Amino acid sequence: MSPRDWLKLNWKVGALSFGGGGRAIYFHDALVQNSAELSDDEFQEGNTISQLVPGPNLVNLSTYLGMQLVGWRFMLVGFFLLCIPGAVIGIAFYELIDLNNPTMMLLFKGFSLGSVTFFLLFIYRLAKGLRSDIGRAVTASKLAVRILLAVLVAAASLYGFPLFWVLVVGIPVGVLVEFQT
């Protein structure tokens, strides 16, 4: 990917992707679905590490992929293009928009639910990756265990278990499953 395309992508996500959540799909679309910049597996590596490192997942993902694709200088410029517009627009909202206006809130909710739509699509794409192992297809039993693990983690998180403990318990279980099967 050319540095210019990388910066355009970050600008697009940073300045135009209203709605909250699920914005990683813009990166997946641009780098995996609509081009061959990265394989799905390479993207998932970046996504996994971005989720595990503390901080904003979207920024983490952009940082990881930027380092891989265009080097630290353009990664850094991309970082600012991704992070500054939303923060400045946030201040404009704070100063200029009446957040108690019901019509405005409905519009914002609409954008958020639009994001949920593509969040689901993104998760579906990631979930398809559970079918593969290193260099081969995964067995049916192992796939079932992986799905079960994902469901349990989602349930524990929704139930309100602290994320730290979900990961402290979940990661060893996941590793055990992977190495035992």
Q: Is residue 118 part of the contact set for another protein (CB under 8 A)?
A: yes
Q: Is residue 70 part of the contact set for another protein (CB under 8 A)?
A: no
Q: Is residue 58 part of the contact set for another protein (CB under 8 A)?
A: yes
Please, what is the minimum distance in Å from the beta carbon of residue 163 to another protein? 5
DSSP helix/strand/coil, 22: coil
Q: Is residue 36 part of the contact set for another protein (CB under 8 A)?
A: no
Please, what is the minimum distance in Å from the beta carbon of residue 2 to another protein? 19
Instruction: Compute how many other C-beta atoms are within 10 angstroms of the C-beta atom of residue 106.
Output: 9
DSSP of 110-131, one letter per residue? HHHHHHHHHHHHHHHHHHHGGG
Q: Is residue 133 part of the contact set for another protein (CB under 8 A)?
A: yes
Q: Is residue 126 part of the contact set for another protein (CB under 8 A)?
A: yes
Q: Is residue 8 part of the contact set for another protein (CB under 8 A)?
A: no
Rounded Cα distance, 159 and 156, in Å = 5
Q: Please tell me the count of residues contacting another protein according to CB under 8 A.
A: 98
Please, what is the minimum distance in Å from the beta carbon of residue 164 to another protein? 7
Rounded Cα distance, 108 and 86, in Å = 14
DSSP of 136-148, one letter per residue? SBPPHHHHHHHHH
